[in-house]
Structure 1
């Protein structure tokens, strides 16, 4: 009877693991299907895009749509604008979050907890609520209709500060005190001791910030005020909406969308190891 019970438990566990694997595969396929369809559609001919029932795989893949979309939206300039916005904003968020998180985690000063609570409270404000105040502020600073107007209000981020603070709290105080005894400055401690220790969190924040600001639409559209030369790629691609009225231009629209998602995907490929490590570390701490 004991052997039968062990056999049953072992096979029940095997069936459970198999079922869980099938569920994970199904979810992954569902999540990846729109991206795969977008890429394949960008390689189809106009005739294949119009065919009913739809053609799943292009018979003769071609890159004609990519050359056309480059002419329609001014691809080079738009990509440079997007990279400027995303890179500058992400770099500033990582630095300011690291410094503020270090201060909240390791310094003790009057009103620290109240200030941190107020900071966390800003995370619950919908972005649309702060749109008009930020627009007025950028106007007072003379930054409207420029890329600096898009970047400056986003140089710090409450979520980033919260994330860094939670990770930096786990850095041993003895390690920091030892560095101070050796004569290291606070910036040296922060960037040469603390930052390498919380590298997974930095990678996760980098990924989140870059993807968010690369895909940002409403704020750049509001600040740039129709200055099309400063438009990032996401706004420039809105010009393709007029091409989406017929199936003949489906490949053009899909090509533009594919180009727009490439940089975040490439960044994720490079940072996925650190990103997974950050999730695992969070689970262990929790």
Structure 2
């Protein structure tokens, strides 16, 4: 699922009716979700009205029910998982069941060993699922994500980087009607859909870093290249930080309105 600016939505659909955001309803639903998640006893960080990080390490380590975990591992989504990630997956499923039963809402969950990994995985679990990724699959997960989907790259900086990368990719592959050979790969074992193909303006991290080093350095600043390599390892200073419990914001943040388009 990708986001589309309202200006573009209006251009494509001149008769589009846009209703105002129901802030009070969002606040009420967000508080209800937060209350349910807090009953599990793990720190919960709320970063928006419908986004949460949960530090489940203590819960999965304390869980002594390993009867379903043959030799310390289990099989989920086509991959063999360590015990803690398997328990994290089972915990996420219990939380999703509780949310549906208590507040009637579905939830999409990404399970990983850092906030960044969980954040980048959860959209692939939409509209109503849970996905978990092993440590050795993290680079493939990161490579499959669009550059502009990473935290901090969804506005001007990301737009500028993708414009430069698109130009570099077009120079490397003049025939834009077909994906270059390095953009075609087997879908990761944790994925439930095929890996995204290259298209101008929709550059994935893997496609960007597959450019020759000289071309990458011509397209981006040294700081931007370093950031992309850091993200490729599943690392990000802010989103690798510990979960910080906090409640609902008192006011909505000021940001451009967007509409979700499939």
TM-score in same-fold range (> 0.5): no
TM-score, normalised relative to structure 1: 0.24
Q: Which has the higher helix share?
A: 1
Higher-RCO chain (CA-CA 8 Å, sequence separation at least 6):
1
Q: Which has the higher strand share?
A: 2
TM-score, normalised relative to structure 2: 0.26
Structure index of larger Rg: 1
